[in-house]
Structure 1
């Protein structure tokens, strides 16, 4: 990930909606929800694969863990405010990997996918 993208993801709200926005940015169009079939679909660069909700949640948890690692690899913070912000983001991302947060982000991200499909 590029530093600019990491900073953008860090500056999103530290709530479930912010997490859904992070996933939207990180996943792009590789994950979509199909309400008609009540399942997730994942693009593996060759074809669409049907996935269970638990697999989406695992992918979300891995994405949050990856973002944590990327933030830790950033150059040292320039000041105390930036360091405090990083600490808060890291704490939020760690908490976001628990089941309750993953369920919430699943519901919000699913809604975002359905909204996008309705517009098309």
Structure 2
């Protein structure tokens, strides 16, 4: 099922901030964690623009380090105080929106609406 680009953009910001708030991480690890949670339509190319946007807004900071396994250097991301505040706002907005959508969907009978 395809999810609208604009809808995914807003959700990815919150999801990635949430993951980074759990501890320092890098792009490919974020991608793996999102896929493990069955987050829809995630590609390698969709993560890095979000990380750049979050960084420009001051929500995350980054540090390039050597890889643990001797591979190429990686950019590790950490959440800032501003990012934590944004994540809290996202969580409040998400709960509000999610509750409203769940209430609405419970009241909609799919079989009746098709007639």
Could you tell me the TM-score, scaled by structure 2's length? 0.34
Q: Larger RCO: Structure 1 or Structure 2 (Cα < 8 Å, ≥ 6 residues apart)?
A: 1
Could you tell me the TM-score, scaled by structure 1's length? 0.32
